[in-house]
């Protein structure tokens, strides 16, 4: 059984994951408006990943006999000054989400909730990947500078991104 303290903390994380999806959908719309469909594609896939993360937490709460309580999701920004600024915001956001996951891990340890601690280890590893992925794009955008050719080459590359949905996420 999931205790009340842990259940509330995971519900807060569900909200954070849903906000992440909103943020990345907003960024996708921004990039599409800028004519950068590849960047938009990358962000839409990122949003889908965040929805999968929310779904994992949602299912876990139910599996442990807790109660999922959904809260309002804050509206994300609508515009960024450049692709670099947007991806720097992605990186900063992923670092923030990592800190939220780390706090959940700490809480699971404090609550002696070994099952939740074990469940959260997947997210710890996932956040390492999320930060690295965002950081890589930031570095590549810095290398490309303001050259249109570099930006368009990166746009084309980001448009090739693919994800494999886990079986429970496929419909």
pTM (2 decimals)?
0.93
109-116: long-range pairs with CB below 8 Å, 24+: 111/3, 111/5, 111/6, 113/2, 113/3, 113/6, 115/64, 116/2, 116/6, 116/10, 116/60, 116/64
- pLDDT > 70? residue 131: yes
Percent of the chain with pLDDT over 90: 89
List pLDDT tens digits, range 15-54: 999 999 999 999 999 999 999 999 999 999 999 999 999 9
Q: Are 144 and 28 in contact (CB under 8 A)?
A: no
Task: Kindly report the CATH number that applies to the domain delimited by 4-164.
Answer: 1.20.1260.10
Where is average pLDDT lowest: 63-72, 130-139, 161-170?
161-170
- pLDDT > 50? residue 171: no
- pLDDT > 90? residue 167: no
List pLDDT tens digits, range 77-90: 999 999 999 999 99
């Amino acid at each position: 059984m999931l205790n009340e303290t842990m259940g509330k903390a995971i519900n807060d994380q569900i909200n954070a994951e849903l906000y992440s999806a909103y943020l990345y959908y907003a960024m996708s719309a921004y990039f599409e408006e800028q004519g950068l469909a590849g960047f938009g594609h990358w962000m839409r896939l990122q949003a889908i990943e965040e929805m999968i993360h929310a779904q994992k937490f949602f299912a876990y709460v139910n599996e442990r006999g807790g109660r999922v309580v959904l809260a309002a999701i804050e509206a994300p920004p609508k515009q960024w000054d450049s692709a670099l600024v947007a991806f720097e915001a992605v990186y900063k956001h992923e670092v923030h989400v990592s800190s939220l996951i780390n706090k959940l891990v700490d809480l699971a340890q404090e609550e002696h909730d070994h099952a939740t601690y074990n469940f959260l280890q997947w997210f710890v590893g996932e956040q390492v990947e999320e930060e690295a992925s965002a950081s890589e794009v930031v570095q590549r955008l810095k290398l490309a500078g303001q050259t249109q050719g570099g930006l368009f080459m990166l746009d084309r590359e980001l448009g090739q991104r693919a994800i494999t949905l886990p079986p429970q996420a496929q419909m």
